[in-house]
Amino acid sequence: MRHIESQIQRTCKRWFDYQYGQFSPLLFAVPNGGLRGKREAAIMKAEGMTAGVADMILLVSRKGYGSLCIEFKTAKGRQTDTQKEWQRNAEIHGNKYVIVRSFDDFVKAVTAYLG
């Protein structure tokens, strides 16, 4: 399933870079997933890696929001409790959070956000 999400995310990033090149450096992935050894995981946690963070963040403020947080899921994918909690915190503090299940979802969300 992660590979499907990854494929969608890569396609979305390529489109975004082409469509909104001026904001390209401000749309970035948060590499929380993946397999790591205990030592590397401990180092990353100490550096500030936080479970549940959205897959990508667009660090551009619009329409009263500080940023757009984007979580990629497959058609049947569901958020974990940790992701839901992170979403609540992000939204409470003035950020927009969307779940994207396809390239079309991404285009609609970004276009609506950036206006």
pLDDT digits (tens, 9 = 90+) for 42-84: 776 776 677 889 999 999 999 999 999 999 999 999 999 999 9
Question: 41: pLDDT confidence band, cut at 50, 70 and 90?
Answer: low
Are 60 and 30 a contacting pair, CB within 8 Å?
Answer: no
- Phi, psi (5° rounding) for residue 22? -65, -25
Q: Which of 11, 1, 19, 88 is nearest to 56 (CA)?
A: 11
Q: What is the pLDDT of residue 86?
A: 97
DSSP 53-111: --SEEE---BTTBS-EEEEE--TT----HHHHHHHHHHHHTT-EEEEE-SHHHHHHHHH
pTM: 0.88
**CATH number for the domain that contains residue 103:** 3.40.1350.10
Overall domain count for the chain: 1
Domain of 14 in residue numbering reads as 2-114
Q: What is the pLDDT of residue 111?
A: 98
